[in-house]
Structure 1
């Protein structure tokens, strides 16, 4: 059985958001502009007007209907609680305002590191990665070490350089996983070639398209029609699925797909997702 997550002994349990252990950092540190995803403008370092004194969101259950869809799909990969409880040892920015701006700058850097940890952890659980298991494990440990630096050292990190090192390994993972996918027919291969060349897929009609084993890294699939598409064993790292319709699509065995990406899309109960992901509540029944 290939391309299945297996217990590797390396799974890190803090790679998903635990908002109860966070000081509302995504609601305060990050900027956003009034758009289809956000009802108002907000500058970085300015708390969202919906952030309550206990660091909970006052409209959490109604984010989509209140115009804050962007908040509903955001994922920090556990960076919020790491910064709150470990980097700053439980000292929040409200009680310690002198820490606020530094904490807000550390948070997005930590989010990037935790995102890398999430991908590396997933890669370590795939049977196809056994030949490069040691390299992946070293990269994971090095990245985890970076997340435990003091705030000043974190702010001085060259994150793009470290991401480039990790990305080399993730590309190897992608090639190993996708190499075992059954070759597609001519139409499928032509479409995959176009995707590799950066074809604009925003709003594209890809309904029923055979994309098995495709490299969709960073693909712009905004509002695309992917109903009933065969997307098994695809590399979906960084693919933009905002408002894409995944109804009936088969994403079984796809790699580097996150819950945030799924949450940003449309779909239904017939959409097949990797076992680590769940059908969002807002999808059609």
Structure 2
């Protein structure tokens, strides 16, 4: 069997770097990594890197024409919910228009498109959610992701949508922060932190999400799949588990309500996913949150 060639967008991001790492370690697919600007991944061997600005349709076409991938894993997006709310035009260009560019090319060249989406497509009134539950986003970020999903559903492309929740992990250059690293860093410095106790999530280890992306390619998955960790917890519980794992002072953690934060964008209260379909169809097997923290800890010790 010929090795599948996979082009990854946003390869400098957390998920993008984990995909590079996993593909280099396991060699299950051939990688074309693409991102805006220079390659941030420390190893340059064993794969190809191309600079590609997802907002430049002509450049996207040139890169895809040159490398002729069998599949594209599209990780590039605005994921900061408040930034998306504050700059809706940029959010639309990155999270919707760029997806349309990829869809058109994938339709034309018969390329599979694996697209990353989010639990924020839901309003959080009655999570955990199944793949076919009705969407109702509360923020423009969530709305932009729903629009992208609709473009895919209405296209002739061979598409799979992987929805995920609160991705955490570590990159070699520590350039990508997330809730686990933020909480650990603040508590180690002895900085008092406020954490919401009325939002529930299923945090996702970046390695697990990368594995799900590769499984979706290998199995030529079609449709929507939920991809998250298996443990359901409040944000406050999550931060306390981080404190527990690294034996940090919990007395400086203050639990607050979402209302008191005055964030630009509204967040759903209870998301979380039912993972049965992804486990059954893709063979997805996520780590527990505790196991995920252990993996992050081991990587930190190795790298620093």
User: Normalization by structure 2: what TM-score?
Assistant: 0.27
User: Normalization by structure 1: what TM-score?
Assistant: 0.28
Of structures 1 and 2, the larger Rg is shown by 1
Whichever structure has more strand as a proportion of its residues is: 2
Which structure is richer in relative contact order (CA contacts within 8 A, separation 6 or more)? Answer: 2
